[in-house]
Amino acid sequence: MRSAVNHPSRQTIDDFINKNVDRPIANKVLHAHPSPMHWKTQFDRSRFDQALQNSAQRSASINFYIGIPFCLPTDPPHCGFCLFPTTAYQGKSAISQYLHYLAIEADLYKETYGQAKIASLYVGGGTPNLLATQHYDELIKIIQSLFPDMDRNIEKTLEGIPQLFSADKIKAIHESGFNRVSMGVQQLDDRLIQYSGRKQTSRQVFDAIEMFHQYGLSCNVDMIYGWPEQSIDSMLDGLRKISAAGVHHITHYELNIAGRSHFATKQRAILPSQEEKYEMYKVAKQFLQEEGFVQKTAYDWERRSASSRGNAKPWEYLYEQNLRQLFSSSEADSQCYMGGLGYAAVNIRLQPDGGKDSFSAMNQRNLAAYMKDLADHRKPIERVYFHTPEDVKLCWIFQALQELSVNMADYRAVFESEFLTEYALTVAGLLEKEWIVVRDDVLYLVGRGEFNVPLIQAIFAFQLSQEISKPEAVIPIAAIE
Ligand SMILES: C[S@@+](CC[C@H](N)C(=O)[O-])C[C@H]1O[C@@H](n2cnc3c(N)ncnc32)[C@H](O)[C@@H]1O
Ligand code: SF4
């Protein structure tokens, strides 16, 4: 497949790097190309339904996401830093009503998932552990209505915040069949966490971890670095205690600063600089490696252990791992799709040859609009983007960069084209900066390159993003052939 994109000149690449290298990048976790702001609210519904149906006919395994919209109100709002779409918690009856609509939505997808196999389930949000004890069974039943042959051993994760993981909820989560939890701790320091307005203590964090161990639930802990007033010592203290508590998977995110969040508008003066954050990244990396953790992405760390229960390995995070392996070859049956139900959920289907069946779609981010669509028996899709073959290549490159390396032999096998030829100027620019090295057909991010993954992703996407940004963009003919 020939490249249809005019790649930027070396000068443009250097200017772009110099302009952005010292700025906090708004989104440190770029999973998709293009960014959802380019997905279209006006889209061809019949083309979308057809693409869904066509992808359903291919035998694929599905990573399934369910979105729960609700969060406890905080002061400042949205925990001060959060950029995810959420809705204020309105009590148990609002949750029951929401689950009722989720079941209606699942019904609309029965035909789509008739042949498919679910590979992993992730219930995220929002705050899924706001659900009451009786709701976890209901959630699993909704999934079983779509995948009646679901293997009970697949990874099934439920996300939540420490203060809501009570003993009776953990028991109900476990008994309904979830085998993994992901707990958003962010900060262990009881003073620093107060910037988020959360009523969270480190005691609650360790009590919850202790109970996860009792119930044999694998556990991931989300931590954030680059927090207001956070020092390297306080970051290390948090990581040390989480590691000592026997956690086998840590996501260590750099704080995203953007938009009108309280941190972005009121706390900027006390945020660490880019240079300080890079130092934090390096110190955390060294510490986690010494503790036996292996780096899977710029922010994912896993520590293998001797113990594992059935198929579930406490260190694994299959849902994310599968998503990063969008297609390891051009064989259809090695493809992995992302399916989603619920508020703000995303559906992604990527075909290596791009074209009409590759798309990304996002559900309504307004709860009333979500329920209204379902009351009218319409899939609650807010926006859709149909990918060109060049977009699909970039999606693949984005995922590879998350893992800090691009295997160019795999790229060749999937796309039948030469990565180094297509991206010669970009690669030359990154080599000169010493952000990458190339060895044995693999490009590795090194040094500051690891810290700058989103910036490197943006450089690879530079030309295509410019073309997409123009409302009157004419996609080159070769790209849609
Ligand atoms: C969508 S949240 C949901 C989990 C749960 N409600 C919580 O807050 O812990 C998932 C994770 O995204 C991360 N996150 C959210 N906003 C972020 C930001 N502005 N910068 C970095 N990480 C962020 C947090 O670590 C959080 O645990
Ligand atoms: S609880 Fe989690 S999802 Fe909700 S606003 Fe806070 S960080 Fe965001």
- Best mutation site among 25, 79, 159 for ligand 1 pocket (most ligand atoms within 8 Å of CB): 159
CA of 471 to the centre of ligand 1 (A): 32
Q: Which ligand is nearest to the CA of 184?
A: 1
Each residue of 418-434: pLDDT tens digit? 999 999 999 999 999 99
The residue contributing the CA closest to ligand 2 atom 8 is: 82
**Atom of ligand 2 at shortest range from CA of 77:** 5
How many degrees, rounded to 5, is the angle at CA 15 between CA 13 and CA 16? Answer: 65
Cβ-contact 107, 283 below 8 angstroms: no
Report the pLDDT averaged over residues 288-303.
Answer: 95
The residue contributing the CA closest to ligand 2 atom 5 is: 78
- Best mutation site among 186, 317, 346 for ligand 1 pocket (most ligand atoms within 8 Å of CB): 186
**Any idea which residue has 């319409």 for tokens?**
378
Residues with CB under 6 A from ligand 2: 71, 78-79, 82, 84, 86, 125-127, 161, 184
Is the alpha carbon torsion for 364, 255, 191, 290 positive or negative?
A: positive
Nearest to 371 by CA among 132, 100, 108, 129: 100
Report the pLDDT averaged over residues 406-427.
Answer: 92
- 276: pLDDT confidence band, cut at 50, 70 and 90? very high
Q: Is the CB of 159 under 6 A from ligand 1?
A: yes
- Residue 160, preceding peptide bond in cis (omega within 30° of 0): no
Q: Is the CB of 208 under 6 A from ligand 1?
A: no
- Side chain identity at 422, as an amino acid letter? E
More confident residue, 190 or 475: 190
Report the pLDDT averaged over residues 362-386.
Answer: 96
Q: Is the CB of 256 under 6 A from ligand 1?
A: yes
- 306: pLDDT confidence band, cut at 50, 70 and 90? low
The residue contributing the CA closest to ligand 1 atom 6 is: 127
Q: Is the CB of 291 under 6 A from ligand 1?
A: no
Report the pLDDT averaged over residues 2-27.
Answer: 74
Q: What is the pLDDT of residue 12?
A: 85
Question: Above 70 in pLDDT, residue 264?
Answer: yes
- 4: pLDDT confidence band, cut at 50, 70 and 90? low
Q: What is the pLDDT of residue 58?
A: 64
Q: Is the CB of 104 under 6 A from ligand 1?
A: no
Domain coordinates in residue numbering, the chain:
1-21+404-469, 45-322
Each residue of 309-321: pLDDT tens digit? 545 577 777 787 7
Q: What is the pLDDT of residue 26?
A: 62
Q: Is the CB of 255 under 6 A from ligand 1?
A: yes
CA of 215 to the centre of ligand 1 (A): 25
Q: What is the pLDDT of residue 29?
A: 52
3-state SS class at 335: strand
- Counting residues of the chain whose pLDDT is more than 90, the rounded percentage is 68
- Of the ranges 218-227, 332-341, 394-403, 443-452, which one carries the lowest mean pLDDT score? 332-341
Dig out the tokens for 300 from the structure: 């994912």
CA of 284 to the centre of ligand 2 (A): 24
**Atom of ligand 1 at shortest range from CA of 127:** 6
Cα separation of 222 and 349, whole Å?
27
**Atom of ligand 2 at shortest range from CA of 78:** 5
Nearest to 280 by CA among 241, 340, 237: 237
Q: What is the pLDDT of residue 18?
A: 86
Q: Is the CB of 184 under 6 A from ligand 1?
A: yes
- Side chain identity at 175, as an amino acid letter? E
Helix axes 453-460, 462-469, angle to 10 degrees: 60
Q: What is the pLDDT of residue 305?
A: 77
The H or E element containing residue 251 is strand 249-254
Which residues 6+ apart lie within 8 Å of 25 measured at CB?
Answer: 256, 454, 455, 458
- Best mutation site among 29, 68, 74, 84 for ligand 2 pocket (most ligand atoms within 8 Å of CB): 84
Q: What is the pLDDT of residue 481?
A: 19
Q: What is the pLDDT of residue 68?
A: 98
Question: Above 50 in pLDDT, residue 477?
Answer: no
- 25: pLDDT confidence band, cut at 50, 70 and 90? low
CA of 376 to the centre of ligand 1 (A): 32
Q: What is the pLDDT of residue 469?
A: 61
- Best mutation site among 30, 65, 79, 253 for ligand 1 pocket (most ligand atoms within 8 Å of CB): 253
Kindly report the number of other CB atoms within 10 A of residue 438's CB atom.
15
- Kindly state the DSSP code that residue 312 receives in the 8-state scheme: B
First to last CA, the chain: 10
Architecture per CATH, 45-322? Alpha-Beta Horseshoe (3.80)
CATH number of the 1-21+404-469 domain = 1.10.10
Each residue of 44-65: pLDDT tens digit? 999 999 988 887 666 568 899 9
**Atom of ligand 2 at shortest range from CA of 79:** 6
Can you spell out the DSSP letters for 74-123?
-SSGGGGT--S--EE---HHHHHHHHHHHHHHHHHTTTTTTT-EEEEEEE
CB burial string 335-358: b at 16+ within 10 A, e below: bbbbbbbbbbbbbbbbbbebbebb
Q: What is the pLDDT of residue 307?
A: 61
Q: What is the pLDDT of residue 474?
A: 37
**Atom of ligand 1 at shortest range from CA of 84:** 1
Cβ-contact 137, 96 below 8 angstroms: no
Nearest to 105 by CA among 322, 347, 323: 347
The residue contributing the CA closest to ligand 2 atom 3 is: 126
- For the chain, what is the mean pLDDT? 88
Question: Above 60 in pLDDT, residue 330?
Answer: no
Each residue of 129-176: pLDDT tens digit? 999 999 999 999 999 999 999 999 999 999 999 999 999 999 999 999
Each residue of 37-49: pLDDT tens digit? 889 999 999 999 9
Question: Above 50 in pLDDT, residue 476?
Answer: no
CA of 126 to the centre of ligand 2 (A): 6
